[in-house]
Amino acid sequence: MAIPLPRPRLCVFDLDGTLVDSLRDIGESLNHCLTLLGLPTHPIERYRYMVGEGVPRLCQRAASEAHPHLVERLAELVRPHYRTRVLHHTRPYPGVLELVECLRADGIPLAVLSNKPHELTTRIVEHFWPEGQFTRIHGYIDEHLRKPSPHYLLRLCEAFGTAPQETWLVGDTPTDVQTAHAAGAYSVSVTWGFRTRKDLMDAGASVIIDTPDQLW
């Protein structure tokens, strides 16, 4: 059943945990590189609470506070290794392909804003949506401007000529909620991704949905 929402003039999606389930590829890449450094690995499910804030923060969490001197080296290893397997297991969540097509058919411009490195964000989006369904794709470039900074969300609003309050930011983490609030946009949080409903409620999500068809 669709949840009544104000119709957006722009819909911006997070990538990992929102459009695609990439957790296994990320977790296996981190574990491989942790092993190379002689560090303990983690269950794949634990990476749900490590991802979402860029590679440096991911590596910091994976290495733990006991090994701060290895964080930079871990990041150096993970970047090229993950690049070779970014699409091994990563797939769109059930119903997401249909959601994207429905929003496009309704004439709503679509964009992606991710804290994944820009090159990999573009690669994944263009692999699963090769016909340009997403007009703008923006991944991680500058550490100080990554989400929850509203900088790039506001730049997307400017590029499309829309006001933030007429924009949805659809994401699966408190970081996405914080980004939307900081920009003055409408946060739509999804429970099929990497965080729980309670996490999203505690972050102050504007609305929480459980299945993609609730946005059709």
- Residue 203 has φ and ψ, to the nearest 5°, of -80, -10
**Which residues share a beta bridge with 9?**
none
**Of 14, 172, 176, 199, which one is the catalytic site residue?**
14
Residue 83 CA from chain centroid, whole number? 17
Please confirm, yes or no, whether 14 is among the known catalytic residues: yes
Q: How many CA atoms lie within 13 Å of 111's alpha carbon, on the beta-carbon side?
A: 24
Show Cβ contacts of residue 74 under 8 Å, excluding neighbours closer than 6 positions.
30, 33, 34, 37, 39, 59, 62, 63
* Residue among 132, 182, 131 at smallest CA distance from 157: 182
- Catalytic (active-site) positions: 14
